[in-house]
Amino acid sequence: MVVGLLLVVALVDLESGDRIASVVGAAVGVLGLAVSVFALTRPASDPAVAGSRSVQAGGNIGRAVTGDNVRVTDPAPHVASGPAGQGPGANDTAVPGERGVSAGGSIGEAITGDGTRQQ
């Protein structure tokens, strides 16, 4: 594009070059506006998880297990379903660290240790 504009400057008179530059500038401005509107209206992506083996959810979590050699025999706790983003810490922007657990709603149980046994 730059090479094309340089050729216009070198081969065409100043008045025509001014008109062409105005049209190109307007086209680039409209393209920039379209990209901005697209970026503002696209759906938000999932939150980033920072720590290794960490869990982060926008809603409720019944059970999250991040430890090694964990034996769990009872069923996951029941977590009342509700709209995401209403639970404690729903407005927090912090992401969990290593083996951390974060949710926009309720967390029934989080097991992050190694060798945990539940009966």
Give the Cα separation of 90 and 82 in Å (integer). 12
Give the Cα separation of 114 and 62 in Å (integer). 19
- Please write the tens of the pLDDT for every residue from 12-41: 888 888 888 899 899 999 999 999 999 888
Torsion angle, alpha carbons of 25, 28, 34, 40, to 10 = -100
Cross-strand pairs, 103 = 57
pLDDT in tens, the chain (119 residues): 778 777 877 888 888 888 888 998 999 999 999 999 998 888 766 556 667 777 878 788 888 888 788 877 777 777 776 555 554 444 555 667 777 787 888 888 887 877 766 65
Give pTM, 2 decimals: 0.43
Cβ-Cβ contacts under 8 Å for 111 (sequence gap 6 or more) = 63, 64, 65, 66, 67, 70, 72, 118
Give the model's pLDDT for residue 87. 47
